Amino acid sequence: MREIDFTAVMARLGDLTPRQRRTMVEALTKTTALAEVVATINARVADHPNCPHCGAAALQKWGQSLGVQRFRCKGCRKTFNALTGTPLARLRHREAWSAYGEALRDGLSVRKAAAKCGVHYTTTFRWRHRWLRCPRDRKDDSFAGIVEADETFFLESHKGSKAWARTTQGKSTEPPPGRKPRHRGGKAKKRGLSAEQVAVIVIRDRHGATTDAVLENLSRTSVTPILKPILNRNTLLCTDGAAFYKAAAKAEGFAHQPLNVKAGTRVKERVFHIQNVNAYHERLKGWMHRFRGVATKYLSNYLGWRRMVERQGDEVSPFQVMAAALA
């Protein structure tokens, strides 16, 4: 806009009605948020300066689309932008991404996030699991000192599944899950792994490095692939007295300090305990309670979401959340 036109607009601001002022403020806010979103997207190329199709580094600028810089690879001759090959590729309503970053940071439900962003709730549902794809896979792999490991349990959930409705309405010949649907949330009838619950192992050292995984069962064959890549001669595994931890440590040669928690031994020699990882369990469960139960097939996404919150803190900006989704 020319300076003379801008001066004319500023001179007429006093003539605006209250509704027009609100409309202008909303438009300016969306424009500013969109500009910051575009800047965050374009900045990703500096961190990943390679073609997502062939990996070549020889690129040339190839115009823009909605403010996002496009490139053409000099090797494979294909065009792309900073979102190509990321979980956020082809998602729309970029002007609402800043607000959604805040919603994800604050742990809002799907419907509350939709109201905050001004989009349909099915849109924020899709966004949630696309934005969480990278945080889900970003796990710490460098551990040192005493490494605590313990499992916690979540109710198995088919939340959102249409299996019961389709079978009842004659739209599917597949049998429904082997139990009646229950209310969201709830408690298991008995503690530990059962047909009602799935196990999640959390591994955490005293410096805050954290990884986790949903287990098929509680056995040496399930926990060994998770423990083996992160334990080394500079670490000592501290767990409760579960037999599968002992078996895994013996088979792989891990330094291991078990605690007989059932007999009341929670701390040994004032340094060996699993209170750090159990405190993480408590924070995780308390944070998950707001969702009133999550579908088991999406449980890994929520675990990654919680790790991101722990890693970045409550004061993280929405654009840092977006950058984490593009990592």
Residue 116: name the closest of 103, 127, 107 by CA: 103
The pLDDT value recorded for residue 167 is 65
Tell me the DSSP string of 212-253.
Answer: EEEESSSSHHHHHHHHTTT--TTEEEEEES-HHHHHHHHHHT
Residue 227: name the closest of 194, 206, 205 by CA: 205
Which residues in the chain come in under a pLDDT of 70?
A: 1, 6, 24-31, 164-185, 193
Positions of E strands within 79-217: 79-81, 145-155, 197-205, 210-215
61: β partners: 71
Residues 46-88 pLDDT 10s: 888 899 999 999 999 999 988 899 999 999 999 999 999 999 9
The values of phi and psi at residue 135, to 5°, are: -55, -35
SS3 141: coil
Rounded CA gap, 169 and 74, in Å?
A: 55
Q: How far is CA 293 from CA 184, 218, 234, in A?
A: 6, 22, 38
**Residues making up the chain, counted from first to last:** 327
CB atoms within 10 A of CB 146: 20
- pTM of the prediction? 0.85
Angle at alpha carbon of residue 264, lines to 262 and 267, rounded to 5°: 115
The pLDDT value recorded for residue 108 is 95
SS3 72: strand
